[in-house]
Amino acid sequence: MRSLFAVANRPEVVSLAGGMPNIEDLPRAALGEAAAKLIADHGTQALQYGSGQGEAFIRELTCEIMALEGVNANPDDVVMCAGSTQGLDILTRVFIDPGDVILTEAPTYVGALSTFAAYQAQIVHVEMDGDGISMAALDQALATVRAQGKTAKFLYTIPNFQNPSGITQTMERRRELVEFAEKEHLLILEDNPYGLLTIDGTPKPALRSLESDQIIYLGSFSKIFSPGVRLGWIVAPPAVREKLVLTQEAATLCPSVFSQFLVKTYFDTFDWRSQIVEFNDMYRARRDAMEDGLAKHMPEGMTWTHPAGGFFVWAQLPQGLDSQAMLPRAVTAKVAYVPGPAFYADGFGSRYMRLSYCFPTPERIFEGTRRLGDVIKAELAMRATFGLDALEDGQTSPEQAPLTGKDQHGQGPAPDIL
C-alpha cells in the first residue's frame, strides 16, 4: 500500500498525504550567508564531534522555546537527538523489553508505532474523544494490562493537534491526565512537535508545565524551523537522562554538532517568533481551505475533525467504505491521503483517513477535496451497485480484514513524500 504514495510527489497529484512542513518562507538567502559565516568563524567546533547530551547553548535555547508553552526546564535535563523521532527511539530502547506494554492514543503517530514495533513492544490503544485521550478508557486499559500481570511502561501521547486526529487535549483533561499518572505511577511521554503551530488562539501549556516527575517531554525544531536539520530534544529526570546520554553516545556518539550550531545561528540571527506567526498565518489559510473544501465537497455521512493548529484533519468515511481499498481510486483521480489503519497497531481504522493541509497551496487543497469528494461518491455508488452499501461496521470482507504483522509495517508514507 505504501507504494501508492509514490505518485504523491508528481505535480499532477494533490497530496493530502504527507506531513512535510512548508519551509518556503524561511529567509534562505540570509540564512545561507549566516551559515557561511558560521563555518568560517566557528568551523573547527561546528564540524567537530561534540557532547553526547548536546551542546549547552542549544539546550539553553530549547528551554527558552519550551517556556512559550509554560515548561520550566533546566538545560541540564535536556538531551538533544536527531529529531524527536530518534529521541523516541532511544527512550524506547531504554525503557522497553520485548513484550512490554506501551499505551497510546487510538489512533496515533505512525512513526511512533514503527519505533515501538522495532523494539517488539505490545501496543495497547486508548480511545479519544473531542477533548483528547479518554480518561475512562485509560483507566480501563491500565487495569486490564495490570490484570494480565503486565506493566505499562509508559503512555505515549501527543496533546496538541494530535497526529493524525488533529485533536487537542483541553486543560482540564491535561490536569486529569497528570493527576492520574501521579496516582498510578504511570510514566507519560509527551510528544509536542506542533504546539507552537497554534493557528486559533494561543498555545496551551504543555503537560510538562504541570511540574510532574512522571512526564518525559519530546520537542522538535522540525516544524518551527527545519526538519532537514534533524534536531529535537528530550527533557527527562536526571536518572533517566544519564541513561539516555549513554544510549545516545552508543547510537550516534553525539547529535549533529553542525545542526546544533546552524539552529542556534538561525534563532540568534533571525526573528524566529515572527517567523512562527508567519507560518501560522500560512497554515491557517490552508486549514481554512481544507475546511471549506470538505464542507462543500464531501457527501452525506462523512465527518471530520476541526483542528486549531498543526497539520492534520482526521476524517471518517460514510458507513461501509474502506479507506485502504479506495486509495487506488483516489490515486487514479490524482488525489492522495493516508488510510486510517496506518495509525493503529491492530489494523483497525479502515473507515478513517488522515488529510494533511501543510504542504499544498490553499487552491490545491480545495481542488484536492473536490477530487476526493468525487472519489468517495464513486466508491459509494460502486458499493451500492454490488449491494455492499448495507454492510454494517465490523462486518469484514477480504479488503477490510485487519492487517497483522508485516502487512502492517510501512503503511504510512515515507518522510519525503509530499
Scanning 87-95, 101-109, 120-128, 377-385 for contacts with other proteins by CB under 8 A, the matching segment is 377-385
User: Rounded to the nearest whole angstrom, what is the least distance from the CB of residue 47 to other proteins in the complex?
Assistant: 32
Our CB check for other proteins shows the closer of 25 and 407 to be 407
Under rule CB under 8 A, residue 392 binds other proteins:
no
Other CB atoms within 10 Å distance of the CB of residue 84: 25
Contact pick of 382, 390, 393, 404 for other proteins (by CB under 8 A): 382
For 303, the 3-state DSSP assignment is strand
Please report how close the Cβ of residue 92 comes to other proteins at its closest, in angstroms: 24
Listed residue (251, 240, 140, 234) closest to 190, CA to CA: 234
User: Which of 4/68 has CB closer to other proteins?
Assistant: 4
Asked if residue 385 binds other proteins (CB under 8 A), the reply is yes
Query: Per-residue x/- mask for other proteins, residues 253 to 292, rule CB under 8 A?
Result: ----------------------------------------
Binding map of other proteins across residues 9-28, x = CB under 8 A, - = no contact: -xxxx---------------
Rank residues 3 and 202 by Cβ distance to other proteins and give the closer one.
3
Identify which range of 67-75, 140-148, 267-275, 400-408 contacts other proteins by CB under 8 A: 400-408
In whole angstroms, what is the distance from residue 92 CA to residue 348 CA?
Answer: 24
Residue 327 engages other proteins in binding (rule: CB under 8 A): yes
Is 386 one of the binding residues for other proteins (CB under 8 A)?
yes
Complex with other proteins: residue 7 or 285, whichever CB lies closer: 7
Residue with cell 524527536: 84
Size of the site for other proteins (CB under 8 A): 30
Binding to other proteins (CB under 8 A) within 329-368 occurs at 329, 331-332, 334
Interaction between residue 117 and other proteins (CB under 8 A): no
> Considering Cα of 38, then 40, then 42, then 46, what sign does the dihedral take?
positive
* CB of 100 or CB of 379, closer to other proteins: 379
List of residues contacting other proteins (CB under 8 A): 3-4, 6-7, 10-13, 325-329, 331-332, 334, 379, 381-383, 385-388, 397-400, 406-407
